[in-house]
Chain A
């Protein structure tokens, strides 16, 4: 009995969490056209999806934005983490970390609204450029957060040891620091990728009329009511998400392994 209630409760929570997702996926095979009565099995919605060139272009846009913004924000984020670690004084470090975290704790609406003002003022045309810049901007602090602990955990004697063995400053960066924090860099890149793929609110604010990402498109489709090709789309996205999560956990595993290696 002592085991029954916890188990029952967890099963209840998991049903609550997964039922809507499977409900969505289930009806993507419904020939009936609604999300309430299942009439028969069909793959028509998927066919429609793949025939919709407009949607495919939106998917492409989304992926390009995600990859591009993740790559750029990873570079800036790694430099940022190095800047924080090498800040001369503790006060500078804390100030940088606080500024870094502002965008992480800010609600999306605030980020979106303030970026909209910013882009309008400096004259960035709302569209691909503004969305890309916004995604880079909100991904940078995430990369920093993922890389910084690796840098902090790195013993300073490792750098002394490298210098002792004749390494120049560039050697130390490329042969010691970067290889050491590689798991953190990968984790940061993946997080940036998923944040970009997932983002709706910020994109919604800073995108113009001509340019749309998948999240914004889903929103406008959903506001028009139920259409089962959205269900088909979400099934595919869910599978893609699982694929990403497995990738991410693979990296985390490697992360842990190398962390154990450092411990005495």
Chain B
């Protein structure tokens, strides 16, 4: 281990029956002091990973390491990990002070020390002076902060957050995203955040792990994952995209929608079938004759910052365009894009192969947007 690893999963599998694998040989290594997000649709196994780290469940096979020590059978109450639960799990029979002091009282800490720590924790989550409040008097956002304070007051090395923002309304959620990110940077400890909301993941994380059906699809920085999705699932799950079947004609030339286009990908077999992704915001609407693709506008929605335009080309492929300029429904328009906007995905490529390919681009051409 060259990096300062805090949590490591080594081929961890969790099964509830012979055919019910919730996690399938999941391996990863998390560094101290970073903000990680486990992202995926419901049932993808992200919460299972969190519960294994917390110690609520044990893996069926594989090993879990914490600071280099195997912790498979260490019970939850003996781990230096604290959780912020989705429904907050605040004790309704205790007030704010007692909720936050719960863990400290278990440790039999001195009264004065508890007092000081609870006050400090409340200050940290911007709720100073709320000690004697009852939970029934608090709003959802405030309860959320109490739950966070209850976790950080124990000074854990890792904080686990299980979709903590999902019960909040949109405005409060955005606000809390900033606060959580700031909190993590101030505390300097590892945050592991579980969500199914890709925007949340992109906004907050140092690193995102995308999961589906118990298997890690891709992990990397938010820009990596957004710009260079490894497969159709990731591309679809992270943001909106146009995904079209194509063929890699040769290095730097890909064929789709009936034409050949210049691109920045290389190292594939000639005539290898691929999937091509172009993000809607990378497409520009032009006059029909000056576009690389001609398409007929089918419908248009105003989304505030942009228009979402849906058009079909002559082959019947659907093209989603985000444009600040308005189009006219029924008109034929041109769609223009840069070679860098084309992202080519090989079918069934593993993460190692994918990373090697991307590295070869930057070593060779140095023209790719990804790291």
Asked if A and B form a direct contact in the complex, defined as CB atoms under 8 angstroms apart, the reply is yes
* A-to-B contact residues, CB < 8 Å: 155, 157-158, 160-168, 171, 175-176, 179-180, 182, 257-258, 260-262, 264
| B135 surroundings in chain A (CB, below 8 A) | 261
Q: Is the CB of B85 within 8 A of A261?
A: no
* B-to-A contact residues, CB < 8 Å: 54-56, 75-78, 81-83, 85-87, 89-94, 102-103, 106-107, 134-136, 140, 143, 150, 154, 167
Q: Is the CB of B82 within 8 A of A164?
A: yes
| A257 surroundings in chain B (CB, below 8 A) | 136
**Among candidates A160, A166, A258, A260, residue contacting B89 with C-beta atoms closer than 8 Å:** A160
Complex Cα distance, B102 from A165, in Å, reads 7
| A180 surroundings in chain B (CB, below 8 A) | 91-93
B31 vs chain A, min Cβ distance (A): 22
**Among candidates A155, A160, A182, residue contacting B76 with C-beta atoms closer than 8 Å:** A160
Q: Is the CB of A258 within 8 A of B76?
A: no
| B89 surroundings in chain A (CB, below 8 A) | 155, 157-158, 160-161
Q: Is the CB of A157 within 8 A of B93?
A: no
Q: Is the CB of A175 within 8 A of B102?
A: yes
Q: Is the CB of A157 within 8 A of B85?
A: yes
| A163 surroundings in chain B (CB, below 8 A) | 55-56, 75-77
Complex Cα distance, B140 from A42, in Å, reads 63
B7 vs chain A, min Cβ distance (A): 15
Complex Cα distance, B106 from A175, in Å, reads 10
Would A164 and B76 be within 8 Å (CB), given that A258-B93, A261-B92 are in contact? Answer: yes
Q: Is the CB of A167 within 8 A of B106?
A: yes
Q: Is the CB of A171 within 8 A of B87?
A: no
Complex Cα distance, B144 from A264, in Å, reads 11
Q: Is the CB of B83 within 8 A of A171?
A: no
Chain A interface mostly: helix
Complex Cα distance, B76 from A43, in Å, reads 68
| A175 surroundings in chain B (CB, below 8 A) | 102, 106
Q: Is the CB of A160 within 8 A of B56?
A: yes
Chain A: which residue is nearest B82 at the CB level? A164
| A182 surroundings in chain B (CB, below 8 A) | 93
| B106 surroundings in chain A (CB, below 8 A) | 165-168, 171, 175
Complex Cα distance, B150 from A167, in Å, reads 14
Chain A: which residue is nearest B54 at the CB level? A164
Complex Cα distance, B135 from A258, in Å, reads 10
- The list of the 10 closest CB pairs from A to B, nearest first, reads A165-B103, A161-B89, A157-B89, A163-B76, A261-B136, A261-B92, A179-B93, A166-B106, A164-B83, A166-B77
A100 vs chain B, min Cβ distance (A): 26
Complex Cα distance, B51 from A163, in Å, reads 12
Complex Cα distance, B154 from A225, in Å, reads 72
Complex Cα distance, B86 from A31, in Å, reads 70
From A165, A179, A257, A262, name the one whose CB has the most chain B CB atoms within 10 angstroms: A165
Q: Is the CB of A157 within 8 A of B102?
A: no
| A167 surroundings in chain B (CB, below 8 A) | 77, 102, 106
Q: Is the CB of B140 within 8 A of A176?
A: no
Complex Cα distance, B87 from A262, in Å, reads 10
Extra 9 A-B pairs, beta carbons < 8 Å, given A166-B77, A261-B134: A158-B89, A160-B89, A161-B83, A164-B77, A165-B77, A165-B154, A166-B78, A180-B93, A261-B136
B144 vs chain A, min Cβ distance (A): 11
| A158 surroundings in chain B (CB, below 8 A) | 89, 91
From A161, A166, A179, A257, name the one whose CB has the most chain B CB atoms within 10 angstroms: A161
Complex Cα distance, B76 from A81, in Å, reads 25
A261 vs chain B, min Cβ distance (A): 4
Complex Cα distance, B136 from A260, in Å, reads 7
**Among candidates A160, A166, A171, A258, residue contacting B92 with C-beta atoms closer than 8 Å:** A258
| A162 surroundings in chain B (CB, below 8 A) | 91, 102
Q: Is the CB of A176 within 8 A of B54?
A: no
**Among candidates B55, B92, B134, B150, residue contacting A262 with C-beta atoms closer than 8 Å:** B92
B234 vs chain A, min Cβ distance (A): 30
Complex Cα distance, B87 from A264, in Å, reads 8
B185 vs chain A, min Cβ distance (A): 23
Complex Cα distance, B150 from A160, in Å, reads 14
Chain A: which residue is nearest B143 at the CB level? A264
| A260 surroundings in chain B (CB, below 8 A) | 136
| A157 surroundings in chain B (CB, below 8 A) | 85-87, 89
B193 vs chain A, min Cβ distance (A): 16
Chain A: which residue is nearest B86 at the CB level? A157
From A158, A166, A260, A264, name the one whose CB has the most chain B CB atoms within 10 angstroms: A166
Chain B: which residue is nearest A161 at the CB level? B89
Complex Cα distance, B75 from A171, in Å, reads 14
